[in-house]
């Protein structure tokens, strides 16, 4: 198969055709060359999914990569293909190592590679263990290793990822740290336990899939979990691991009497944060929240965008949410609102009188509606929405040079 990696163009991790061998084809703009233009200045690192924690996919330092360039002068560097073991769902990262771009790629065979971004040479490869093999779900098959986009911490100098390892009942998720200079494993912490908001639940790795991109926030790495093909029992989880102490926290979006569904998958989109010890995610099918104020989230939060607050002890608490008024219908028709991840708009706006400032977040799901919400006041369940000019969205939108690019069946541009 062929994976085209380009850290400069808005992209969403996607599923690639099945096979054990992956071909990595580095696109020219990733190393600072556009076909027909000659060398240009080297670009900065790509340390997290979609450029930043708002998940805009927009590199403000990139002035040469316009829609015109992408459509007319954008191509693969000749002779670059690199063979890898396993499918690649996770967006690769680009880290400067010894003055050269290093492409960090993790696969579903639990293999991690450090590849020279200019020559294509494999500088190192590391096995994280035996990947989980699944036979009753084709979403990610046959092996499940590293599925979500990793994240790089410039403070420690390590790349962090979530790996699924083991077979049968012994399968488990591991929080893994990798040194990008040589591939050495610097941390390995098992993910598990019970969520702080529902001690009656126990994390069962055999029922969960870790798909959304990881979030690095104030020394913690956060990961969200959904299901394998909606096979019950499962719930949506958010897990956090402290990089320094390896302390863990776990939270669920379906606590209380239901304890079922509301997986967080977002088609690989990432957890979104605008700082202030808080972050956002969007959930899929399950028991939707009842009507009520957004600042008092209930235990059942399917088909919702949720704002989590990080407490002083590292635990997580839901502080606000929004769910469409027709959330139960979305669930009944398998029209997940969480089929794509949210995107925080990188600017603020105000009302017509200029008396109120809004910090916006955007969400679109399978039914094609685009919701633009106030990150500081999500407002519970409300019918207000902009009906998009497309039918279906699976994946997270991106923002480039003043335009929004949602991901329906065909790419559209909104201004």
Domain residue ranges in the chain: 1-164
pLDDT computed for residue 282 by the predictor: 97
Is pLDDT at 224 greater than 50 in this prediction? yes
402 vs 305, higher pLDDT:
305
How far, CA to CA in Å, does 202 sit from each of 192, 247, 252, 272, 403?
8, 17, 10, 26, 43
pLDDT computed for residue 75 by the predictor: 72
Residues 6+ apart with CB under 8 A from 286: 235, 236, 253, 254, 258, 260, 261, 262, 263, 300, 302, 303, 331
Q: What is the mean pLDDT of residues 173-178?
A: 98
pLDDT computed for residue 170 by the predictor: 77
Q: What is the mean pLDDT of residues 123-130?
A: 97
Is pLDDT at 265 greater than 80 in this prediction? yes
pLDDT computed for residue 2 by the predictor: 39
pLDDT computed for residue 135 by the predictor: 83
Is pLDDT at 33 greater than 50 in this prediction? no
Tell me the pairing of strands 151-153 and 158-165.
antiparallel
**At residue 19, what are phi and psi to the nearest 5 degrees?**
155, 160
Distance, in Å, from the CA atom of 210 to the CA atom of 221, rounded to the nearest integer, reads 13
pLDDT computed for residue 117 by the predictor: 87
Distance, in Å, from the CA atom of 3 to the CA atom of 107, rounded to the nearest integer, reads 11
The answer to whether 89 and 268 are in contact (CB under 8 A) is yes
Q: What is the mean pLDDT of residues 343-367?
A: 83
Q: What is the mean pLDDT of residues 91-116?
A: 95
Tell me the pairing of strands 386-387 and 143-144.
unpaired
pLDDT computed for residue 13 by the predictor: 35
How far, CA to CA in Å, does 395 sit from each of 117, 126, 211?
27, 30, 12
Q: What is the mean pLDDT of residues 115-142?
A: 91
For the segment 129-154, what is each residue's pLDDT rounded down to a tens digit?
Answer: 999 998 888 889 999 999 999 999 99
Tell me the pairing of strands 2-5 and 21-26.
parallel
pLDDT confidence tier of residue 78, bands split at 50, 70 and 90: low
Is pLDDT at 200 greater than 60 in this prediction? yes
Is pLDDT at 401 greater than 70 in this prediction? no
Among the listed ranges 78-82, 92-96, 172-176, 273-277, which one has the minimum average pLDDT value?
Answer: 78-82
Among the listed ranges 133-147, 238-252, 390-404, which one has the minimum average pLDDT value?
Answer: 390-404
pLDDT computed for residue 382 by the predictor: 54
Q: What is the mean pLDDT of residues 242-256?
A: 95
How far, CA to CA in Å, does 123 sit from each of 127, 182, 212, 298?
14, 8, 27, 49
The percent of residues in the chain predicted with pLDDT above 90, rounded, is 52
Is pLDDT at 236 greater than 50 in this prediction? yes
Distance, in Å, from the CA atom of 91 to the CA atom of 161, rounded to the nearest integer, reads 11
Q: What is the mean pLDDT of residues 304-329?
A: 93
Is pLDDT at 57 greater than 50 in this prediction? yes
Q: What is the mean pLDDT of the chain?
A: 82
């Amino acid at each position: 198969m062929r994976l085209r990696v380009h850290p400069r163009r808005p992209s969403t991790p996607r599923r690639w055709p099945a096979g054990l061998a992956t071909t990595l084809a580095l696109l020219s703009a990733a190393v600072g060359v556009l076909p027909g233009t000659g060398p240009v200045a080297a670009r900065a690192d790509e340390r997290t999914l979609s450029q930043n924690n708002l998940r805009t996919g927009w590199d403000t330092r990139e002035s040469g990569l316009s829609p015109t360039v992408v459509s007319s002068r954008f191509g693969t560097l000749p002779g670059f293909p690199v063979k890898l073991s396993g499918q690649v769902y996770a967006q690769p990262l680009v880290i400067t190592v010894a003055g050269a771009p290093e492409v960090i790629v993790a696969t579903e065979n639990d293999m991690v590679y450090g590849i020279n971004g200019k020559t294509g040479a494999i500088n190192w490869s590391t096995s994280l263990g035996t990947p989980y093999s699944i036979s009753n779900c084709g979403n990610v098959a046959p092996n499940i290793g590293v599925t979500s986009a990793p994240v790089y911490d410039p403070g420690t100098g390590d790349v962090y990822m979530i790996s699924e390892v083991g077979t049968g009942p012994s399968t488990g998720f591991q929080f893994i740290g990798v040194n990008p200079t040589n591939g050495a494993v610097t941390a390995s912490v098992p993910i598990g336990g019970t969520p702080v908001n529902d001690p009656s639940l126990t994390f069962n790795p055999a029922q969960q899939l870790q798909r959304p991109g990881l979030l690095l926030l104030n020394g913690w790495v956060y990961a969200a979990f959904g299901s394998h093909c909606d096979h019950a029992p499962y719930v949506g989880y958010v897990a956090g691991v402290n990089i320094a102490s390896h302390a863990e926290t776990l939270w669920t979006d379906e606590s209380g009497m239901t304890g079922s569904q509301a997986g967080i998958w977002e088609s690989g989109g990432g957890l979104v944060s605008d700082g202030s010890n808080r972050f956002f995610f969007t959930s899929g099918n399950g028991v939707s929240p009842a009507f009520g104020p957004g600042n008092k989230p209930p235990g059942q939060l399917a088909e919702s965008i949720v704002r989590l607050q990080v407490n002083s002890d590292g635990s997580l608490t839901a502080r606000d949410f929004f769910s469409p008024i027709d959330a139960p219908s979305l669930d009944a028709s398998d029209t997940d609102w969480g089929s794509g991840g949210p995107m925080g708009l990188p600017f603020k706006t105000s009302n017509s009188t200029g008396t109120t400032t809004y910090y916006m977040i955007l969400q679109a799901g399978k039914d094609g509606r685009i919701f633009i919400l106030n990150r500081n006041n999500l407002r519970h369940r409300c019918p207000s929405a902009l009906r998009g000019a497309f039918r279906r969205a699976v994946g997270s939108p991106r923002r480039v040079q003043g335009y929004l690019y949602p991901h329906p069946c065909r790419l559209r541009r909104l201004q």
